[in-house]
A = this chain, B = another copy of it.
Amino acid sequence: MANEKQSFKDRLHEIVFEADTPVGKAFDVTLLVFIVLSVLVVMLESVDSIGGQYPEVFYYLEWGITILFTLEYLLRIWLTRKPMKYVFSFYGIVDFLAILPTYLSIFFTGTQYLATIRALRLLRIFRVFKAAKYLSEASTLYNAIMSSGRKITVFLVGVLSAVLIIGSAMYLIEEGEGSGFDSIPHSVYWAIVTVTTVGYGDIAPVTPLGQFLSAILMILGYGVLAVPTGIVSAELVRGELDELPEVSTQACPSCSLEGHDKDAVHCKYCGEKL
């Protein structure tokens, strides 16, 4: 009996956590449909002409989906042998955050809108469609970004310093012109909007000196945009170059030096046969 239950728990584990069997795949696809639905419900609830008209419908839909997700979360904890490992894994945390906002909305009005964090659950989609390949692509991207992390930190500290200094200068130049530069934080916000080439236009310089300085900031931002792109490109290209055949890992039996080419017959340092 214990054995049978165990095997039932095992089969359930296979269905809920894996996507290799037809039933497992069906479970994952159903889950994805519910996630998309739940995100749509939260989004539409906030639209006055839709959510404002039928508040109850959305209230019940929201709670229905949340209870379903809560049951699924508890099921996952029960099914895992080491529950703590799941709870503190990436997916475990995302699954928890996906149900939290609705419960919090009992105490704090509005937090239910944060339930769009459920969108993160959509990352499960990669598990359904040939997960492995996508995960390897994701890790390539992740590695390229991580290994250029220090370069990007240096770059960001530089950009932030520039933005703080130019923002303050613009405040001195444009203050009292009614052009929106009414405090340094606002000016720095404008400098970020400008250097990233977003350019809302809610704050825009009107004095000749201010326009001149912001033209310089734009051209600077223009050249500067090239830097992170160049960093990531070079990192990804390096990934490609690493795949080229390189030095062998063989050590010379006589002098133990390494670094011989793959086609070497004799040690290039002492002349001994490899």
- Which A residues lie at the B interface, using CB under 8 A? 39, 42-48, 110-111, 113-117, 119-120, 122-123, 125-126, 133-134, 137-138, 140-141, 144-145, 150-161, 164-165, 167-169, 171-172, 175, 182-186, 188-189, 192-194, 196-202, 204, 208, 211-212, 215, 218-219, 221-223, 225-241, 244-245, 247, 256-273
Interface of A is mostly: helix
Q: Shortest beta-carbon distance, A105 to chain B, in Å?
A: 11
Q: Which residues of B contact A247 (CB under 8 A)?
A: 245
Chain copies in the assembled complex: 4
What is the bound-complex CA distance between A232 and B148, given in angstroms? 15
Inter-chain contact A230/B221, CB cutoff 8 Å: no
Given contacts A48-B182, A110-B172, 13 further A-B contacts (CB under 8 A): A42-B184, A45-B184, A47-B185, A114-B168, A123-B157, A145-B227, A152-B223, A202-B204, A234-B240, A259-B259, A259-B261, A259-B263, A261-B261
Q: Which residues of B contact A185 (CB under 8 A)?
A: 43-44, 46-47, 208, 211
The residue among A119, A151, A155 with the most chain B CB atoms within 10 A of its own CB is A119
Inter-chain contact B113/A168, CB cutoff 8 Å: yes
Given A229-B232, A257-B263, also A157-B215 (CB < 8 A):
no
